[in-house]
């Protein structure tokens, strides 16, 4: 199984708030995002992170709505950085540079991202005489 990253690590690498990323993944399907049932943390592959990085660039810099940006990001990552719309609009993105930048940010994010605690917290036994 390829390496996967937590939501917190991904948000740091993509330079977006965790809440924004969580909401985006709750409402939109992105290839490479592994999510199971409720209570199991999402895991994102590097391919999913590249798609999300492209989508965030489209949202931030061009003002494209997120659902459309995710569709375009999917096409861009499958065609080596190129996209042509049905009306002839052409978009080109340097995926190699983007991936290199993203990997650099991921290296840093892995070191500082919090590891989420899962499940019920333990009972506090401090000060008790059972």
**Termini Cα distance of the chain:** 46
Mean pLDDT: which of 1-5, 38-42, 104-108 is highest?
104-108
Q: Which is more confident, 32 or 94?
A: 94
* Cα–Cα distance, 114 to 130 (Å, whole number): 34
* Cα–Cα distance, 84 to 87 (Å, whole number): 8
Residue 123 lies in a domain: no
Give the CATH number for residue 63: 1.10.1660
Q: What is the pLDDT of residue 66?
A: 96
pLDDT tens, residue by residue, 93-129: 999 999 999 999 998 888 887 676 666 777 776 666 6
What is the domain range of residue 87?
A: 4-112
Contacts of residue 7, defined as CB under 8 A and 6 or more positions apart, other chains included, come to 18, 21, 22, 25, 41, 42, 44, 116
Our count of domains for the chain comes to 1
**Strand 90-92 and strand 4-5: pairing?**
unpaired
């Amino acid at each position: 199984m390829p390496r996967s990253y937590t939501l917190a690590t991904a948000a740091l690498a993509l330079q977006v708030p965790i809440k924004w990323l969580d909401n985006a993944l709750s409402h939109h399907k992105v290839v490479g995002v592994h999510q199971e049932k409720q209570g199991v943390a999402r895991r994102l592959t590097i391919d999913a992170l590249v798609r999300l990085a492209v989508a965030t660039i489209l949202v931030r810099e061009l003002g494209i709505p997120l659902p459309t940006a995710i569709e375009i990001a999917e096409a861009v990552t499958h065609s080596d950085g190129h996209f042509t719309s049905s009306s002839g609009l052409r978009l080109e993105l340097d995926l190699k540079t983007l991936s290199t930048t993203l990997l650099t940010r991921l290296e840093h994010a892995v070191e500082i991202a919090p590891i989420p605690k899962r499940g019920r917290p333990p009972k506090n036994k401090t000060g008790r005489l059972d």
